[in-house]
Structure 1
């Protein structure tokens, strides 16, 4: 289940180490995540980490919940009526997402259609030289 609206909560004691200290955490709605994805220009990418950092900066909080963000991203990707290019979001190290519709194989196809080269020589496929294609969102 994804959130219908954004929530800002206190960072739990058990999460202090992950977020680097106390503060507030954003639990983003599917709509908020989709709006940010819609800003990613064609032939550019966003890592999951940059996605969360951008949301945290926009909401002026310490961090963004990775679990809630992933749930929203999965819901967007698996919605047949989605109009945003969710495939432009990759893992922090350039690896592709296995939970997008069609798995990694379909993620490869979508990215290759936009001109990205995929390195599949390692354990998991990743976008070659992905750092050069990262979107600069404010």
Structure 2
């Protein structure tokens, strides 16, 4: 995003807040019966780890990713689960 707008960096706190808002809104839409929702569960960290703060936590995110055919490496100690070989599925925006 920083590169697209020709800035040096973006604020990770603000970005995290807005991603959480989008995830919460998507879950509300899903609960309301909407078929097409924002696929927030596809947002992972740069090392492939899942987000504990998403609705339902990392386990719910892992379940949705598994439904799409991704393999998930289980949590190890305090480290959250990670998507295996996620770089093969990256999309250019």
Task: Give the structure-1-normalised TM-score.
Answer: 0.56
Residue 68 of structure 1 pairs with residue 24 of structure 2: no
Q: Which segments of structure 1 move beyond 3 Å, counting only runs of 4 or more?
A: none
- The structure whose residues are more often strand, as a share, is 1
Structure 1 alignment gaps of length 5 or more = 1-54
Alignment of 1:89-128 (within 5 A): 89-120=43-74, 122-123=76-77, 124-128=80-84
RCO comparison, higher one (Cα < 8 Å, 6+) = 1
Figure out how many residues of one structure are paired with residues of the other and give that number: 83
Structure 2 alignment gaps of length 5 or more = 31-36
Task: Give the structure-2-normalised TM-score.
Answer: 0.81
SS class of match (2:51): coil
Q: Residues of 2 paired with 1:70 and 1:121: CA distance?
A: 21
Tell me the C-alpha RMSD between the 2 structures: 1.5
Q: Residues of 1 paired with 2:20 and 2:67: CA distance?
A: 21
Q: Residues of 2 paired with 1:121 and 1:92: CA distance?
A: 16
- The residue number in structure 2 matching 1:130 is 86
Please state how far the C-alpha of 1:88 moved relative to its aligned partner. 0.5
